Structure 1
Amino acid sequence: MDTRFLESFLTVAESGSMAEAARRLGITPAAVAQRIRALEDEVGTLLLSRAGRTVRPTEAGSAILARGRNILRDVRDLQALAGRGSIAGEIRLGAISTALTGLLPTILARLLAAAPMLDLYVVPGTSVELYRQVTEGDIDAAIVVKPQFAFPKTLDWHVLRSEPLIVLAPERIADRDPHSLLRSEPFIRYDRNHWGGRLADSYLRRVGIRPHERLELDALEAIAVMVSKGLGVSLLPDWAPPWPAGLSVAKIALPANAPERHIGLVWSRASSRIRLIQALQTVASQVSMDPIAG
């Protein structure tokens, strides 16, 4: 069995779309469909069915999902063991949205320049989702927000960037006190399902501010655009650039001892790809010390 066919099937099953699977795998949708047909011919049954625009596993497909993930994980482990003399093999790296456009491009450019034989698969997601995937072994490491609980001893953590909470306001009211803005202006909340959003909520509770909520969103870039349009103010981390272009906003510092959102790399101590993760950590640490990242 060609493991590329199995990987294509798992990616389609997880994403629910041939087009999205093709984007993640870096091949055409036609190539994905061809791989799925070849796998179905080999196992002798249909593995996927269409329901409108969505592609779903059949009963047979669902039955092999977990075993298929284990097979691919074992193959990646063997590749990592075989490549112990050099930085080579596959690493699956998760990243939150602001890291995808901020820290990660520079990290990957430097890492691949130093280790061109490395194969990287990047998984986007929230900190909550990516943390779960690291703990379950679905991905090797992730750039996430540090949670407000202690990491288990099975995981390791390296902080890359600390981002203080700021009040983001339209430029026309930038001269006002940050707490006054949070109390009086319409409030665009950073989603409390995100660890960064929970940090902001904890701060509001600590200082006794009950804002007049207008919206709650999970995308920092979208919040910034809405603040720029005069829809309200927000309390969010001063994330790594780039920010959306053309904004008319002011970043207003909170009083002393404002909380910080810590962005870092988390991984399993028992990973068979620990050498690859350590190489990633070294490059990520170097990038985090660049002026643009700090």
Structure 2
Amino acid sequence: MDIEFLANLLLVVDSGSMAEAARRVGVTAAAVAQQVQALERELGVPLLVRAGRTVIPTEAGHRVIERARGLVREFSDLKAFALKGEAAGELRIGTITTALLSLMPDVLARFAAVFSQVKVLIRAGTSMELYETLLRGELDVAVCLHPAFTLPKAYDWHLLREEPLVVLAPARFAADDPHELLRREPFIRYDRSLGGGKQADAYLRAARIAPRELFELNSLMAIAMMVDRGLGVSLVPDIVSPLTAGLEVAKLTLPVKTEPRRFGVVWHRGSPRAHLIRGLLQCADEALVQSDR
């Protein structure tokens, strides 16, 4: 039985789609389907059935998947233990999208230069999705917002960046009062289901500001571009990204101090990939120093 086939079966189940699983591993959907069929022939039971546009496990599939998660994780850890102390192996990184589009490219460039033999697998998601995936052992590190709860003692946290809330406005409004802009101009809201969006919503409520809301979306990069195009103003975490560096936007400091959005790295202290994680953290700190110059 091929462990890669089992890993791809788990991807199909987690994504609900053979096409999405295939996209993540860089093969065709037909190839993934053939791998699943090979597993079904070897085990003698159907593992997946179609439900509309998605696929779901059969009863037998659920039993297989429960064991497969442990097998895939243990095999991955076995490789890591075999390569312990060597600058090789595999590192599975989960990251929030804003980190992936801002700090992480510089971090990964440094990491790849030092650990050229390491295969890096990257998965994007929300902070809670990444944290839960980390707990299941399917990630080695999660680059995410600081959890709103106490981390289990087996896990550690390394702060990367603090991002205070700012009013993002077209450059021509750079000298205007930020609260007045929020009341007067069309408002582009950062998704309230996300950490930074919740912070922005809480600030508006505390300041008794009812903005003229026209848009709500979950991409900080898209929000910055929309502000650059004159579609309105926004209240967002102060991200630093090369993708927004050329935009004609102003960042206005709020008159009332707020808690910043904090994002960093979470990992299991006992990870067999500890030497790679330490290398990643060092690369992150070096990239931050370089970006602040």
**After TM superposition, is the score higher than 0.5?**
yes
Kept in 2, the 8 Å contact 1:196–1:261? The answer is yes
Distance 1:243 1:268 in 2: 32
Range with bigger deviation, 194-203 or 249-258: 249-258
Matches within 5 A, 1:61-100: 61-100=61-100
1:144 deviates by 0.9
- Offset of 1:159 from its aligned partner? 1.2
Shift of 1:43: 0.9
100 and 83 in structure 1: CA distance in 2 versus 1, 3 angstrom threshold:
same
Number of residue-to-residue matches in the alignment: 293
Per the TM alignment, residue 170 of structure 1 is displaced from its structure 2 partner at its CA by 2.6
Q: Distance in 1 between matches of 2:150 and 2:184?
A: 35
2:2 maps to which residue? 2
Q: Can you list the C-alpha shifts for 1:158-200, whole angstroms capped at 9, x where unaligned?
A: 1112222210113343331111112333322222221122222
Amino acid at match of 1:156: D
- In 2, the alpha carbon distance for the partners of 1:111 and 1:230 equals 38
What is the Cα deviation at residue 229 of structure 1? 3.8
For residues 183 and 113 of structure 1, what CA distance do their matches in structure 2 show? 48
Quick one: which amino acid aligns to residue 67 of structure 1?
A: R
Which moves more between the two structures, 248-257 or 34-43? Answer: 248-257
Return the offset for 1:206.
4.2
Could you tell me which runs of 5 or more consecutive residues in structure 2 were left unpaired when the two chains were aligned. Answer: none
Letter in 2 for 1:169: A
Letter in 2 for 1:91: L
Instruction: Give 1:131's aligned residue.
Output: 131
The residue number in structure 1 matching 2:32 is 32
- Range moving further from structure 2, 251-260 or 111-120: 251-260
**Counterpart for residue 204 of structure 1:** 204
Question: Contact 2:191 / 2:197 at 8 angstroms: preserved in 1?
Answer: yes
TM superposition shift of 1:41: 1.5
Q: Counterpart of 1:11?
A: 11
Offset at residue 248 of structure 1 (A): 4.2
- The AA in structure 2 aligned to 1:232 is G
**Take 2:52 and 2:133, find their aligned partners in 1: how far apart are those partners?**
29
Provide the rounded CA distance (Å) in 1 between the counterparts of 2:106 and 2:27: 24
Q: CA deviation at 1:241?
A: 0.9
8 Å CA contact 2:84, 2:273 repeated in 1: no
Q: Distance in 1 between matches of 2:214 and 2:47?
A: 45
Aligned amino acid, residue 13 of structure 1: V
**Quick one: percent identity of the two aligned structures?**
52
Deviation string 1:96-127 (CA, Å, 9 cap, x unpaired) is 11111222222222212222232221111011
| 3-state DSSP of counterpart to 2:290 | coil
Output the amino acid matched with 2:37: R
- Following superposition, the deviation at residue 76 of structure 1 comes to 1.2
Corresponding residue for residue 151 of structure 2: 151
- Using structure 1 for the length normalisation, give the TM-score: 0.89
Q: 1: distance between equivalents of 2:256 and 2:199?
A: 16
State the AA in 2 paired with 1:122: I
Equivalent position of 1:290 in the other structure: 290
1:56 and 2:56 matched: yes
* Map of 1:108 onto structure 2: 108
Check 1:50–1:148 CA distance in 2 against 1; reply closer, same or farther (3 A cut). Answer: closer
Q: Is the 8 A contact 2:155 2:268 kept in 1?
A: yes
Q: Under a length normalisation based on structure 2, what TM-score does the superposition of the two structures give?
A: 0.89
Q: Which amino acid aligns with 2:132?
A: R
What amino acid is aligned across from residue 263 of structure 1 in structure 2? Answer: F
Contact 2:85–2:275, Cα closer than 8 Å, also in 1? no
